[in-house]
Amino acid sequence: MLDPLDLKRIDHIRMFVGNARQSAYFYRNAFGFQVTDYAGLETGSRQEAAYVLRQGKITLVLVSPITPDHPESSRLVRHGDGVRTIALEVADVQAAYDAALARGAESASPPQTIEDQGGVYITAEIKAYGDTTHAFVDRSRYKGFAPSFKPLDPDRYSAGTFHPVGLAAIDHIVANVEEGRMSEWVNFYSKVLGFSTLVSFDDKDISTEHSALMSKVVADGKGRIKFPINEPAKGRRRSQIDEFLDFYGGPGVQHIALATGDIIASVRAMAANDVSFLRVPSTYYEMLPERVGSIKEDIAELAELGILVDRDEEGYLLQIFTKPVADRPTLFFEIIQRRGARSFGKGNFKALFEAIEREQSRRGTL
């Protein structure tokens, strides 16, 4: 059955971070998110502080434990900052949760209906790879973000320090899992969520002198939710996936790809806000016209900003990757603009992975 859980969209991404107040400042000032809502002691949240960040259709929630005995404090020691939950909007939480369990999912939290002055908010959670979960959310009868959240104090930030960058939507969210376990998770998404496999890459597509990886992309029937899943393949040395698994302490979200309608403007604004991006050698741009043919953008401008281009049968795409956003070489972001292409930049893998390996080499983890 296609779309057995009746998933509508990615509602939000919930990240656990060491210091949500400071992370919110970073994602606001560097990535151009508006901080809209807050939960903490002042709003009756006794265990954790949380900030809701919005840009276009993207919602991130940054959460930090504020008590020593918060049940998930140990998650931060193990993983560092990272994605805890990918929340999916559904029409009927109980039905989605029951269907998921019947199809083989493990429960992380049974359905809960919370009523307050904002209305009725319903949510449940199932386990995914590592300590990551998927939440099901029904907010159709709720006004505001979620119970215990209040609109952020308007005096918290001064308007002059905010520079929007034009990010519009979540394009895809990538998981890294252990060697030999990619198929298991592809099966999970197929069996439990009814996703199908869009594309797969093997170590012949994605290998460099040092590392190789395998990847499959699973997606919902409407193509709104796309989750590539990577596993390391045996390389000569340690791949970037091995490095992630070591420093994250297991499988987890490797990168979040955010779509923009104007990547040149977005990347220019983010770079001005001090976001660090991976760079490929300038020779990449010498070969570009031959590789991708005619494109609307000025290649000199793409080269200046470090934006990559790839073409498939349907069109082309432009993409760029940030360096990891915290001190561990784990979570990073991709900025992507699609001009018809529905693929993931396979033609850039080699140049990109060599750029990542130069970073790994600087970290002594290659």
| Residue 331: closest CA among 15, 54, 31 | 15
CA separation, residue 344 to residues 212, 255, 262, 335 (Å): 17, 13, 17, 12
- Least distance from Fe ion to the Cβ atom of residue 359, Å: 17
**Is residue 280 a contact point for Fe ion (CB under 5 A)?**
no
Nearest approach, Cβ of 336 to Fe ion (angstroms)? 7
Q: Smallest distance, Å, CB 147 to Fe ion?
A: 33
Nearer to Fe ion, 105 or 257 (CB): 257
| Smallest distance from Fe ion to CB 257, Å | 4
134 closest CA partner among 9, 17, 4 = 9
How far, in whole angstroms, is CA 329 from its chain's centroid?
15
Taking the complex as a whole, how short is the minimal distance between the CB of residue 256 and Fe ion, in angstroms?
Answer: 9
**Which x/- pattern over 238-257 shows residues binding Fe ion (rule: CB under 5 A)?**
-------------------x
Using the minimum distance from each CB to Fe ion, give the nearer residue, 62 or 258.
Answer: 258
Instruction: Please state whether 268 falls in left (phi above 0), alpha (psi between -120 and 50) or beta.
Output: alpha
Nearer to Fe ion, 38 or 227 (CB): 227
Which lies closer to Fe ion via its Cβ, residue 11 or residue 334? 334
Q: What are the residues facing 218 on neighbouring strands? A: 197, 227
Alpha-carbon distance 278 to 296, whole Å? 23
> Are 227 and 172 a contacting pair, CB within 8 Å?
yes
Contact 19, 237 (CB under 8 A): no
Under rule CB under 5 A, how many of the chain's residues touch Fe ion?
A: 2
Nearer to Fe ion, 285 or 344 (CB): 344
Q: Whose Cβ is closer to Fe ion: residue 39's or residue 336's? A: 336
Residue number, 146 or 336, with CB nearest to Fe ion? 336
**Binding to Fe ion (CB under 5 A): which residues in 180-199?**
none
Minimal distance, residue 162 CB to Fe ion, in Å: 27
Beta strand extents in 158-242 (DSSP E only)? 167-176, 196-201, 212-219, 226-233
Residue 110 CB burial class (10 angstroms; 0-12, 13-18, ≥19): exposed
Q: Residues 179, 250: contact at Cβ < 8 Å?
A: no
Site for Fe ion in 328-347 (CB under 5 A): 334
Closest residue by Cα to residue 82 from 366, 260, 278, 329: 329
Which residues ranging from 45 to 104 are in contact with Fe ion (CB under 5 A)? none
CB of 45 to Fe ion, least distance (A): 33
The token pair that represents 85 in the structure block: 């939950």
Of 257 and 263, nearer to Fe ion (C-beta) is 257
Q: Least separation, in Å, of the C-beta of 34 and Fe ion? A: 24
Under the rule (CB under 5 A), what is the footprint of Fe ion? 257, 334
